[in-house]
Structure 1
Amino acid sequence: MECRLGCGACCIAPSISSPIPGMPDGKPAGVRCVQLSDDNLCLIFGHADRPDVCCDFKATRDVCGSNNAEALWIITSLETQTS
């Protein structure tokens, strides 16, 4: 599955403990990453300072669902279950 451009669920729903440019302590779950544009595109995609956890994320149907709202719901649910 290819990532749906403009979704951004993986940049909002999960917590990220790695430093992110502009968020040196990472980001809490449910908080929009400061590197997520108004169009829900990663502003540091392809940059060396993008966290490994972000680079390693692969879109799959079981995590991303069939639309952006479903992706946000699934990832939020997974975060809640594993926190």
Structure 2
Amino acid sequence: MDTAFSCRPGCAACCTAPSITSPIPGMPQGKPAGVACVQLDDALRCRLFGMPERPAFCRTLKPGPEMCGASRTEAMALLAALEQATAP
């Protein structure tokens, strides 16, 4: 059985819902939860993908049903719940 899971085009929930505490080019203090990363382009793709400047947090994210759900709306809800559950 193939268990590969690819990013959903036009989603970017993982670049919006969670907070990122490390610096991001254009966001030196990181980004708060619910705020879109400034590195998203008009197609909601990461301009830093594959580059060393991409935060470690972003590099470790792996798309999957438990994080992405069946739609962007579901992904935003799942990631917002995870953000809240892991907040200090």
TM-score (normalizing by structure 1): 0.93
Report what 1:8 is aligned to.
12
Task: Tell me, in whole angstroms, the C-alpha distance in 2 between the residues paired with 1:36 and 1:73.
Answer: 20
Q: Which amino acid in structure 2 is aligned with residue 51 of structure 1?
A: P
Report what 2:48 is aligned to.
44
Report what 2:74 is aligned to.
70
Task: Tell me, in whole angstroms, the C-alpha distance in 1 between the residues paired with 2:9 and 2:58.
Answer: 15
Report what 1:53 is aligned to.
57
Kindly state the Cα deviation for residue 80 of structure 1 after the two structures are TM-superposed.
Answer: 1.4
Unaligned runs of 5+ in 1: none
TM-score (normalizing by structure 2): 0.88
Unaligned runs of 5+ in 2: none
Kindly state the Cα deviation for residue 38 of structure 1 after the two structures are TM-superposed.
Answer: 2.1
Report what 2:22 is aligned to.
18
Report what 2:39 is aligned to.
35
Kindly state the Cα deviation for residue 26 of structure 1 after the two structures are TM-superposed.
Answer: 0.6
